[in-house]
């Protein structure tokens, strides 16, 4: 067994990011939302699910809400299991299997009559991904020493970014040139949609990639480093600890204000991430390839943005820098609301918005986590529980964001109205953050 701090062990741990990051990029953000719209009939199509008529996009928004609601509920239990049981590896493997096989099962979502396949396995794949992340993160303290944590975490991020972009680029060639891979016997004609089999096979590729590359991680991760035995009542211990943190947060005005602002802008950020493709598809009528190129552009610029705003934060402080990024989110979301769908240059406008969005995407997420870490009391009994509280707050915010998006669209019949509401989330987050005061470590 490799020792803690060993480069091979660290690389094996970080490689799980390479394996699983294709799920949020390809399935959650880029390809599946577009395929779902294609199969269910496009803009404003009505579908039947559970005996009820739904707008197809509204149903998709609610599906995301349900998946994140489940994740928010089970995360504290999973965190407790990760902390108090010695078999993290088995749980990591279980959720990896659940997620990867659920993604591959989306292959069978080949028509409107199998809508239930798309809905159920979308939810299960989300649970599998986020469930595995809990145990993946919990392994960090077992594979690396504290002084290595920042670099090791960054290594995981880089692995995930490179792997997911690499696979998405390959899938993009399948969508643009299906004749290269034998899906059709002629080049795509202008206005001709790629065959649905291209998308179905991309889901299979994501699942195989995730499960296959994860085996390298599993082959080196230790099973029970600390020889722990299960403690009593460990399943609900996480909820009890979260309750204690909630009581402490109420007595910490600066942290309480920050979390309120974080909740609001997270609802906007995460909803835009998962539904931007559908907005470009249904409201602006952009081709699938243009939308995927925009998502790739966002990924590339996000890395630059995180680096750029980290330097700005070092000069003017976290709070001011976060205010700048949130203000940009207000402008971007409002500009998306105003985008002229019938303009001949709408694709260029969308690319430009994607570039600006990418610039603040990585920065907002990175700054939010680092700011929160600086606001946690120095004498706290458990940093891990504070971060569990942070993660649950984010997941509930996503539930509110995606549910609000679907609800507003169902009431108004317009996805633009939903985008306008997201801009209000960012505006309110900016207002709340203005009440924050400087602290010893956060300025």
> Is the domain of 421 the same as that of 327?
yes
Q: Is residue 232 part of a domain?
A: no
Q: Look-up: residue for tokens 């995927």?
A: 292
> Is the domain of 6 the same as that of 127?
yes
Residue 53 dihedral angles phi and psi, to the nearest 5°: -80, 135
> Is the domain of 28 the same as that of 120?
yes
Q: Is residue 59 part of a domain?
A: yes
254-267 pLDDT, tens per residue? 889 999 999 999 99
For residue 243, what pLDDT is reported? 82
Which residues constitute the domain of residue 51?
1-220
DSSP class per residue in 288-310: HHHHHHHHHHHHHHHHHHHHHHH
Question: Is the Cβ–Cβ distance between 337 and 422 less than 8 Å?
Answer: no
Question: Is the Cβ–Cβ distance between 337 and 425 less than 8 Å?
Answer: no
Is the per-residue pLDDT at 16 higher than 90?
Answer: yes
126-140, 167-181, 308-322: which has the highest mean pLDDT? 167-181
Please compute the mean of the pLDDT values over residues 236-247 and round it to a whole number: 78
Please compute the mean of the pLDDT values over residues 33-49 and round it to a whole number: 89
> Is the domain of 116 the same as that of 154?
yes
Last residue of a domain, one of 220, 255, 284: 220
Q: Is residue 233 part of a domain?
A: no
Is the per-residue pLDDT at 226 higher than 60?
Answer: no
Token readout for 365 is 């997420």
Q: Is residue 235 part of a domain?
A: no
3-state SS record for 90-127: HHHHHHHHHHHHHHHHHHHCCCHHHHHHHHHHHHHHHH
> Is the domain of 174 the same as that of 265?
no
For residue 231, what pLDDT is reported? 58
Is the per-residue pLDDT at 228 higher than 60?
Answer: no
Please compute the mean of the pLDDT values over residues 271-299 and round it to a whole number: 84
> Is the domain of 73 the same as that of 212?
yes
For residue 217, what pLDDT is reported? 93
| pTM, full prediction | 0.84
- At residue 278's C-alpha, the angle toward residues 305 and 362, to 5°, is 15
> Is the domain of 55 the same as that of 190?
yes
Q: Strand pairing partners for 35?
A: none
Number of domains the chain contains: 2
Q: Is residue 385 part of a domain?
A: yes
> Is the domain of 435 the same as that of 331?
yes
More confident call, 398 vs 240 = 398
Last residue of a domain, one of 220, 254, 270: 220
Distances (CA, A) of 101 to 67, 199, 247, 313, 365: 16, 16, 40, 41, 29
Q: Is residue 225 part of a domain?
A: no
Of 361, 378, 382, 379, nearest to 309 by C-alpha is 361
More confident call, 29 vs 428 = 428
Q: What is the mean pLDDT of the chain?
A: 85
Tally Cβ neighbours within 10 Å of residue 247: 9
Exposure of 281 in the CB half-sphere (CA atoms within 13 A): 27
Q: Residue 187's domain is classified under what CATH number?
A: 1.20.1250.20
Is the per-residue pLDDT at 79 higher than 90?
Answer: no
Q: Is residue 226 part of a domain?
A: no
Please compute the mean of the pLDDT values over residues 3-15 and round it to a whole number: 86
Is the per-residue pLDDT at 441 higher than 60?
Answer: no
112-132 pLDDT, tens per residue? 999 999 999 999 999 999 888
Angle between helices 115-138 and 88-105 (to 10 degrees): 160
> Is the domain of 267 the same as that of 405?
yes
How would you class 107 by CB atoms within 10 Å of its CB: exposed for 0-12, middle for 13-18, buried for 19 or more? Answer: middle
> Is the domain of 216 the same as that of 268?
no
Residue 86 to residue 89: CA distance in whole angstroms:
8
Please compute the mean of the pLDDT values over residues 162-168 and round it to a whole number: 89
> Is the domain of 305 the same as that of 351?
yes
395-414 pLDDT, tens per residue? 899 999 999 999 998 898 88
Q: Is residue 301 part of a domain?
A: yes
Of 382, 419, 79, 117, nearest to 238 by C-alpha is 79
Last residue of a domain, one of 220, 250, 272: 220
Is the per-residue pLDDT at 108 higher than 90?
Answer: yes
Helix, strand or coil for residue 174?
helix
> Is the domain of 407 the same as that of 272?
yes
291-346 pLDDT, tens per residue? 888 888 888 888 788 778 878 888 888 888 899 999 999 999 999 888 876 777 78
């Amino acid at each position: 067994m490799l020792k803690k701090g060993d480069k091979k062990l660290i690389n094996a741990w970080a490689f799980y990011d390479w394996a699983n990051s294709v799920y949020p990029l390809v399935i959650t953000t880029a390809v599946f939302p577009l395929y779902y719209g294609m199969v269910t009939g496009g803009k404003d199509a009505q579908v039947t699910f559970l005996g009820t008529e739904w707008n197809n996009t509204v149903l998709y928004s609610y599906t995301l809400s349900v998946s994140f609601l489940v994740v928010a509920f089970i995360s504290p239990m999973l965190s407790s299991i990760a902390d108090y049981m010695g078999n993290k590896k088995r749980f990591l493997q279980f959720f990896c299997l659940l997620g990867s096989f659920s993604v591959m099962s989306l292959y069978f979502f080949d028509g409107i009559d199998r809508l239930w396949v798309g809905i159920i396995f979308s939810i299960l794949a989300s649970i599998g991904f986020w469930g595995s992340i809990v145990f993946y993160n919990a392994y960090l303290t077992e594979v690396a020493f504290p002084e290595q944590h920042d670099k090791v975490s960054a290594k995981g991020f880089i692995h995930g970014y490179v792997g997911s972009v690499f696979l998405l680029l390959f899938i993009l060639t399948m969508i643009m040139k299906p004749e290269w891979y034998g899906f059709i016997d002629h080049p795509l004609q202008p206005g001709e949609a790629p065959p649905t089999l291209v998308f179905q096979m991309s889901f299979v590729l994501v699942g195989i990639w995730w499960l296959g590359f994860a085996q390298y991680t599993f082959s080196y991760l230790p099973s029970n480093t600390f020889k722990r035995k299960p403690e009593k009542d460990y399943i609900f211990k996480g909820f009890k600890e979260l309750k204690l943190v909630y009581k402490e947060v109420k007595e910490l005005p600066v942290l309480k204000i920050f979390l309120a602002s974080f909740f609001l802008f997270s609802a906007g950020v995460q909803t835009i991430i998962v539904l931007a493709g559908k907005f470009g598809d249904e409201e602006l009528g952009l081709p699938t390839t243009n939308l995927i190129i925009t998502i790739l552009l966002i990924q590339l610029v996000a890395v630059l943005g995180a680096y750029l705003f980290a330097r700005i934060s070092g000069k003017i402080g976290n709070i001011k820098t976060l205010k700048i990024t949130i203000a940009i989110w207000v402008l971007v979301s409002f500009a998306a609301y105003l985008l002229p769908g019938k303009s001949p240059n709408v694709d260029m406008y969308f690319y430009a918005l994607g570039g600006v969005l990418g610039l603040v995407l990585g920065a907002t997420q990175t700054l939010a986590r680092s700011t929160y870490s600086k606001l946690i009391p120095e004498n706290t009994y458990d940093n891990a529980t504070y971060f569990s509280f942070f993660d649950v707050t984010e997941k509930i915010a996503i539930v509110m964001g995606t549910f609000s998006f679907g609800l507003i669209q169902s009431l108004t019949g317009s996805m633009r109205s939903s985008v306008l509401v997201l801009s209000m989330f960012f505006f309110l987050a900016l207002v709340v953050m203005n009440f924050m005061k400087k602290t010893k470590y956060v300025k």
